[in-house]
Amino acid sequence: MPTGGGRLEPRRAEGIPADLPHFTVMRITVLAGGVGAARYLRGLKQAAPEAEITVVGNTGDDITLFGLRVCPDLDTVMYTLGGGINEDQGWGREGETHRVRAELAAYGASPDWFTLGDRDFATHILRSQLLAAGQPLSAVTEVLCRRWQPGVRLLPMSDDPVETHVTLAGPGGREIHFQEWWVRLHAATPAARISASGAERARPAPGVLAAISDADVVVFPPSNPVVSIGTILAVPGIRAAVAAKTVVGVSPIIGGAPVRGMADACLTAIGVETSAAAVAAHYGPELIDGWLVDDQDKAVTDDPALAGIAVRALPLLMRDLPATTAIARAALDLAQELG
């Protein structure tokens, strides 16, 4: 929530006459996880084709596999907006094959539970090469995006290592990498604790704080509140920068269940109910100003626990691009109303 209370005033593009209001440039900054955020961003680009969109991507899910650095959330956004995504599964490359992986398995190399396709491997090989040469992840991401032209500025939340860890429930519960819990264990083993290891020492990547401060609106797309948006907010400085802005969130929970993924397992681990209202209350009015819920959660709009948060109900399933564009537009409209 902005402390200044100023009205949302999109900047005018340089050199554009003042009497052409539709040429104003709106700055939108989105904190993004993977599939849900990527699909939402596709709608946002349609809803605000002339906006400058900056995406701050979660890197807590990043993992080193076979010595190669894999950034699932950054890549999902990059591939989706760049036209290279596997539309059916929502992650990975279209037309993918798995020959490298089969060979690694033939060598007995582990782990065998994380699927990487051949085309996808090339991204990780190049990223690892550039990282090893001393380039920070933000610079490497820029290099990769030169090919994909996602139409947004994609920034990792931090160039410093932050790793989401999950402490398994039960006596002597092991602390494992998020991906091992999510992919290998399908989040079926309850988590006692989810932590962003290294976050306290991480600095926001170059451009992240400025992109938030300069934004006309900050959007939380329907990403995982714990391991995607929560991890980004755990990087020192980001939460405060976001809290100072007009923030509109899109509920990732519809009718008491995650639209996609296993966010319920993550919410349970941090003691938050899996409901649109509970997630909004978890963020709280000091962080978010507006909250979009699905029509079936319409009752939430009058929930006294959400005082200070403007809640709007609409169809929230991103079933196709027009539906997604409508959701993105509703977030911008609500921001305009609140700004």
Which of 109, 169, 192, 305 forms a contact with its own copies (CB under 8 A)? 109
Nearer of residues 110 and 192 to its own copies, judged by Cβ: 110
Q: What are phi and psi of 267, to 5 degrees?
A: -65, -45
Which of 9, 50, 103, 175 forms a contact with its own copies (CB under 8 A)? 103
Nearer of residues 18 and 133 to its own copies, judged by Cβ: 133
Per CB under 8 A, does 85 bind its own copies?
no
Per CB under 8 A, does 321 bind its own copies?
no
In degrees, to the nearest 5, what angle opens at C-alpha 192 toward C-alphas 203 and 75?
A: 45
* Contacting residues for 59 by C-beta, under 8 A, at least 6 apart: 71, 73, 74, 137, 156, 157, 158, 162, 231
> Partners of 68 in the beta sheet?
65
Kindly state the tokens that stand for 118: 């051949």
Size of the site for its own copies (CB under 8 A): 29
Per CB under 8 A, does 115 bind its own copies?
no
Which of 15, 17, 108, 171 forms a contact with its own copies (CB under 8 A)? 108
Residues 140-169 that bind its own copies (CB under 8 A): 143-144, 146-147
Per CB under 8 A, does 132 bind its own copies?
yes
Q: What is the DSSP string of 112-181?
A: -SS---HHHHHHHHHHHHHHHTT--HHHHHHHHHHHH--SSEEEESBSS--EEEEEESSTTPPEEEHHII
Q: What are phi and psi of 197, to 5 degrees?
A: -65, 125
Helix (H) or strand (E) holding 12: strand 11-12
Per CB under 8 A, does 179 bind its own copies?
no
Per CB under 8 A, does 121 bind its own copies?
yes
DSSP 8-state code for residue 34: S
Helix (H) or strand (E) holding 310: strand 310-314
Nearer of residues 109 and 169 to its own copies, judged by Cβ: 109
Per CB under 8 A, does 106 bind its own copies?
yes
Q: What residue ranges bind its own copies (CB under 8 A)?
A: 66-68, 97, 99-104, 106-109, 118-119, 121-123, 125-126, 128-129, 132-133, 143-144, 146-147
